[in-house]
């Protein structure tokens, strides 16, 4: 074993994880056999300057990839969440311990293959073998967290409507509008230059929608004016049919909602995604509406009265349709289905790694 080489490979596998708008907010410091994960302070986590639940889910996905990669390279990965109370930017420490035992995870090769697929999916329900794998994963969870699978077509239609309602916030709320469109890379040159942000080709928009998004919806003074005539409602309606085309929606719910719980939910989210990738299925995160509600809870001044009503109504409908208990919180939602061919991928930066000794 070459510890330094293995650590670099483990970190690179970790950074194949999804991150909000592909911002890749992480950096790493290595001391001996301990990898410390830090949030890059220049990266904001949303319309408000704080480490958001969405970012913690992202770090969970990163950590899960690193745990799986550690096993592949012959190590146990012992994770400590938020190890330094005086440093909120220090997300986790991962201590590597040599262990040649094969744990039979069999997910490492799918880290590279996993991708956010925003295309329409086939509406076929998940087959029994996939449901069995999800059930097996569910049984391994602690009592405070569970997976909920919905493949009822009528409920899928309702979920599609709820997902696209968050687009109304994106197009009517200035901070959210600036955050989303500020992350977009509209051409290959800018995507290659920055190697972060959301490459517009991954949105899988046809030419008409590309024009609409870039030159009308993406220009705040224009969209702000057109909102008087219902442009946000039209944009949401145009996207609703895409989200109706799904085999299922899967939610992760938890009884706890501390920062470390969102990290753990992110780990489960990534492991589920890799299991689905291994089964030949596509997936897309679909919980922006839930995250908007979390922003509302801490920064209500960012919202108008109508927006507050909309966000609260959508949140309650989500809880009802997934039959979430009073003491539970929705952490993540995923759209799942079958597609043909390869989706587009965003570019990735080389991870920032500092070896301290």
Token pair, residue 334, equals 């995923």
Cβ proximity of 16 and 61 under 8 Å: no
Per-residue DSSP letter, 29:
E
Q: What's the predicted TM-score (pTM) here?
A: 0.94
* CA–CA separation, 171 and 84 (whole Å): 38
Nearest Cα neighbor of 250 from 143, 146, 161, 341 is 146
Cβ proximity of 186 and 24 under 8 Å: no
Q: What angle do CA 37, 40, 45 make, to 5 degrees?
A: 105
What tens digit of pLDDT does each residue of 1-37 get?
Answer: 688 999 999 999 999 999 888 889 999 999 999 999 9
- Distance between alpha carbon 127 and the CA centroid of its chain, in Å? 24
What tens digit of pLDDT does each residue of 234-274 get?
Answer: 888 888 989 999 999 999 999 998 999 999 999 999 999 99
Question: In degrees rounded to 5, what are phi and psi of residue 17?
Answer: -70, 155
Task: Work out the average pLDDT over 132-151.
Answer: 90
Q: What is the pLDDT of residue 47?
A: 53
Q: Are strands 353-355 and 26-31 parallel, antiparallel or unpaired?
A: parallel
**Strand partners of residue 26:** 39
Token pair, residue 303, equals 């919202």
Element (H, E) at 223: helix 220-226
């Amino acid at each position: 074993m070459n510890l330094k080489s293995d650590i670099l490979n483990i970190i690179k596998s970790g950074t194949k994880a999804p991150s909000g708008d592909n911002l890749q907010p992480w950096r790493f410091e290595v001391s001996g056999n301990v990898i410390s994960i830090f949030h890059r302070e220049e990266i904001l986590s949303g319309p408000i300057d704080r480490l958001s639940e969405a970012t913690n889910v992202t770090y969970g996905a990163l950590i899960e990839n690193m745990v799986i990669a550690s096993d592949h390279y012959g190590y146990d990965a012992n994770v400590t969440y938020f190890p330094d109370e005086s440093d909120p930017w220090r997300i986790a420490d991962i201590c590597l311990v040599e262990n040649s035992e094969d744990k039979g995870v069999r997910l490492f090769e799918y880290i590279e293959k996993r991708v956010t697929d925003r295309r329409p999916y086939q509406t076929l329900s998940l087959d029994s073998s996939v449901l069995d794998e999800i059930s097996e994963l569910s049984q391994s969870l602690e009592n405070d967290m569970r997976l909920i699978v919905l493949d009822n077509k009528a409920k899928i239609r309702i979920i599609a409507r709820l997902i696209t309602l968050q687009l109304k916030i994106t197009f009517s709320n200035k901070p959210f509008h600036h955050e989303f469109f500020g992350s977009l890379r509209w051409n290959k040159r800018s995507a290659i230059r920055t190697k972060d942000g959301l490459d517009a080709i991954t949105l899988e928009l046809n030419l008409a929608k590309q024009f609409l998004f870039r030159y009308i919806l993406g220009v705040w003074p224009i969209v702000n004016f057109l909102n008087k005539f219902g442009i946000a409602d039209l944009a949401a309606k145009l996207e609703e049919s895409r989200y109706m085309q799904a085999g299922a929606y899967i939610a992760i719910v938890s009884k706890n909602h501390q920062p470390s719980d969102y990290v753990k939910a992110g780990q489960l989210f990534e492991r589920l995604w890799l299991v689905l990738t291994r089964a030949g299925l596509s997936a897309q995160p679909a919980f922006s509406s839930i995250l908007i509600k979390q922003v509302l809870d801490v920064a209500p001044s960012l919202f108008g009265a109508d927006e507050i009503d909309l966000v609260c109504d959508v949140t309650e409908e989500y809880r009802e349709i997934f039959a979430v208990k009073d003491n539970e919180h929705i952490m993540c939602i995923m759209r799942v289905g079958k597609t043909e061919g390869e989706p587009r991928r965003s570019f990735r930066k080389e991870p920032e790694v500092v070896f301290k000794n």
